[in-house]
Amino acid sequence: MIKGWTVVLLAIGIVAGVVGLIADGQRWWDGHEFLSNLASSFTSLCFGVPAALLVFSHLGEAQTQSRDAERARLRATQEVDEFRAILLQPFAAPGLEDLSGLVSEVEAGMKRQSREFRRGTSETVTAAQDALDEAIANLMVAPGPHNGRQPWRTPWGRNMKPWGNLVAGQWDVLDREIRPRLAELGLPWVTAVQTAVTRQAARELHTEGRNPWRPASRDQESVYGADLGHFLMDLKALIDGAQQMRELYQPPAPTL
């Protein structure tokens, strides 16, 4: 609408300017001072109004874009913080760095157990198993009593499925809503590689054989095999993605 009126007024202004110059060359304005002033004012108006409209239109668009970007940043910050909170829910860690450290301890315990099982004595195998049990217990939020060394088979373990659904659902919000909107507004996001890795990890949380509460074999008794290893790998990918997103969209510090 504004651009249409701008074009019309500019065209009228050009025509009025040309006519005024021709009339001036023929000295037609002599004795018509009032009409001359009126015509020149009208011509100036035809050029001035479009210029003002373009300036104000540009300022308005810039303000709209700024508001949209601010809303997108706020929404991204909220959704990233929600993803972080969901990710931490079942684990005994106050933050992502703490959770990453606990996961690394479990991975180290698994490597030690595997090494001692191959070439260690019964005493070192038992010690390695006990250390791994402790590392897994430290990772959990109050897993409660369990039968033997199967904490993932307890009600706590069964509750991991709803948690996985929450993780996958919140990642879908980030991946399908937040990321495209930020890209549309030219705002930053994590790398394409990290996005793909996080997407795959969120999708595979419930894949059979990639988590301890849904092993590849129904008769599998060990909870420290490949299923736990795959789960820890996916969990680390989710942690890395959440950390990178949080670096970009950090919630404001609470005011005192």
- pLDDT exceeds cutoff 50 at 70: yes
Q: How far apart are CA 185 and CA 190, in angstroms?
A: 15
- pLDDT exceeds cutoff 60 at 244: yes
Q: How far apart are CA 162 and CA 28, in angstroms?
A: 88
Q: How far apart are CA 223 and CA 160, in angstroms?
A: 15
Residue with tokens 């074999």: 217
Query: Dihedrals φ, ψ of 140, to 5°?
Result: -85, 160
In this predicted model, what pLDDT tens digit does every residue of 213-225 receive, in sequence order? 666 655 444 446 6
The predicted pLDDT at position 20 comes to 61
Higher pLDDT, 92 or 193: 193
The predicted pLDDT at position 146 comes to 44
In this predicted model, what pLDDT tens digit does every residue of 88-146 receive, in sequence order? 998 889 999 999 999 999 999 888 888 888 887 888 888 888 888 888 888 887 554 44
Q: How far apart are CA 65 and CA 216, in angstroms?
A: 50
In this predicted model, what pLDDT tens digit does every residue of 41-67 receive, in sequence order? 666 666 666 767 676 666 667 777 888
Look at residues 77, 97, 125, 21 and name the one whose alpha carbon lies nearest to residue 245: 77
% pLDDT > 90, the chain: 34
Cα 111 to the center of its chain, rounded Å: 33
Count of CB atoms situated within 10 Å of the CB of 86: 20
Q: How far apart are CA 150 and CA 128, in angstroms?
A: 16
Residue with tokens 């933050």: 95
Model confidence at 87, in pLDDT bands (50, 70, 90)?
Answer: very high
